[in-house]
Amino acid sequence: MENYRRTRIDPRLCAICRGKGLCGLSYCPLLAKKTATYKLRRIHGSQEVFGTSPPAVFVGRYGYPYVNIGPSVPPETGDTKIYDLPEKWLGLRIEQILDYRWSLVTGSRKYPVRKRNDPFLEKVHEIVLSLKPVDVEIYLEKPPRPIILFSEYEPPQGPRAPLKDFRIASNPSIPRVLDRVYNDLYLKASEAIIVLYKAGIPVSVIQKVLSVGALGTYMDRRLVPTRWSITAVDDTVSKYLINKIKQYNVINSIEVYMRKYYDNLFIAILYPGKWSFEWMEAWWPGSTWNPGDTEIIIEGDYEGYKGRKTYPEIGGCYFATRLAVAEHLEGRKRQAIAIVLREIYPGFNLPIGVWFVRENIRAMLRQGPVLKTNDMREVLEFINKHTRLGAKKWLNASRLLQRILFHSTIDKYIEKG
């Protein structure tokens, strides 16, 4: 898993700032670390951790087909559900989210991905299938290392150590629909994902259930690394929704949506037409995936009405965004050409998982359009006004915007200079 790029900050500035954001970052790494470290004091040097798992389990990917797997537990009891429920994280300060994640101690052991009928794995399944937090005690081979790891796919991961064993100290609360798909050994994983989604099970929960090998036909069940399961569920659910969307009428006008959140700008353009989708990102120097000093990096991928056959180079955010857009259109019983743009500015310099994109796009679309028009000139003027990159550069990078404007030149709509 990737470590994030650390930013050099003058400690004298921290003494003056005290969490006010004078360093230019979207979060205060000192506050996040200090609050979580305070919680972890009670287990300092200990090889036993008792607490209430949200529930949370991590499945690694290194060494595949032998992967690290084990439960994650904070050193506290009570309602810890929010510690591993990204659907509820919008509106929280990033420091608070990092505090939750830093507080989760993970004990893991190497495990073959295709192994079944094992007491250890059955206990893991009990934890993950519960929608309510579960009291768990983990026994570690050595004290957990006080580190926090970041990834563009998964939420941040906190301290960890090799696992001896663990016990479940309270009764898991397993919903009937989860119990049914878990015990149906003839139901394909892709079908089980849709059954759970239609039943209202949160996407983040479905991702965990798939990850621990609790879905699919008996012979096909296997452990799926957490980062792979996140993308797999986003992809599977969005394809299901898109197939439904294609049966609906197109929207009547051009709709533009916008959201600003923690040094990120999101803009969605829904254009009347048969389903197509594009996701574009522009990373400013000093932001997470652009450590350079001068150039803005623009990346993106798209698909037409028939979808795409290759994995998008831009990664998991493509599928997370496609899911959020597909949910919105399915809810309205409409289809459209969807183009979603994101600008990431220097204050946002840590990867915290694709949940951040999925939940922001969901929130943006729920808020409704900020512009409705039948004239693309107005859309381009809006992009010019509200983005730092400007309409001309976005148009030069976007395949679908170019396709929409195929019969007209960019210069017709945008003033030079």
Task: Find the DSSP H helices in 146-295.
Answer: 176-183, 189-198, 203-211, 226-245
In our burial notation (b when 16+ CB lie closer than 10 A, e otherwise), range 74-110 reads: bbeeeebbbbbbbeebeeebbbbbbbbbbbbbbbbee
Strands 66-73 and 57-59: antiparallel
- Specify the pLDDT at position 41: 64
What are the residues whose beta carbons fall under 8 Å from the beta carbon of 322, sequence distance 6 or more?
234, 235, 238, 242, 277, 279
Please tell me whether residue 241 adopts helix, strand or coil conformation: helix
* 10-residue mean pLDDT series, the chain (417 residues): 42 47 54 57 78 94 92 93 94 86 90 90 95 95 76 74 94 96 97 98 96 95 94 97 97 97 95 96 76 80 93 91 98 98 86 90 98 96 96 94 74 47
For residue 269, with 0-12 CB atoms within 10 Å meaning exposed, 13-18 middle and 19 or more buried, which class applies?
Answer: buried
Q: Which whole-number Å values give the CA distances from 63 to 60, 109, 166, in the listed order?
A: 9, 12, 23
Assess contact for 102 and 156: CB atoms under 8 A: yes
CB atoms near residue 177 (< 10 Å): 15
- Specify the pLDDT at position 155: 75
Q: How far is Cα 381 from Cα 374, in angstroms, rounded to an integer?
A: 13
Q: How far is Cα 343 from Cα 29, in angstroms, rounded to an integer?
A: 22
Q: If we measure between CA atoms, which residue out of 266, 268, 201, 212 comes closest to residue 237?
A: 201
In sequence order, what are the beta bridge partners of 149?
Answer: 157
- Specify the pLDDT at position 1: 31
Q: How far is Cα 37 from Cα 103, in angstroms, rounded to an integer?
A: 8
SS (H, E, C) 130-187: CCCCEEEEEEECCCCECCCECECCCCCECCEEEEEEEEECCCCCCCHHHHHHHHCCCC
Angle between helices 203-211 and 119-129 (to 10 degrees): 180
Angle (CA) 146-95-78 rounded to 5° is 75
Question: Mind giving me the DSSP string for 71-100?
Answer: EEE-S--S--GGGG-GGG-TTS-HHHHHHH
pTM: 0.87
Q: Which whole-number Å values give the CA distances from 294 to 268, 285, 286, 288, 290, in the listed order?
A: 27, 6, 9, 14, 10
Q: How far is Cα 296 from Cα 321, in angstroms, rounded to an integer?
A: 22
- Specify the pLDDT at position 390: 95
- Specify the pLDDT at position 244: 98
Longest Cα separation, the chain:
68
In our burial notation (b when 16+ CB lie closer than 10 A, e otherwise), range 221-245 reads: bbbbbbbbbbbbbbbbbbbbbbeeb
Total residues belonging to the chain = 417
- Specify the pLDDT at position 150: 63
- Specify the pLDDT at position 15: 41
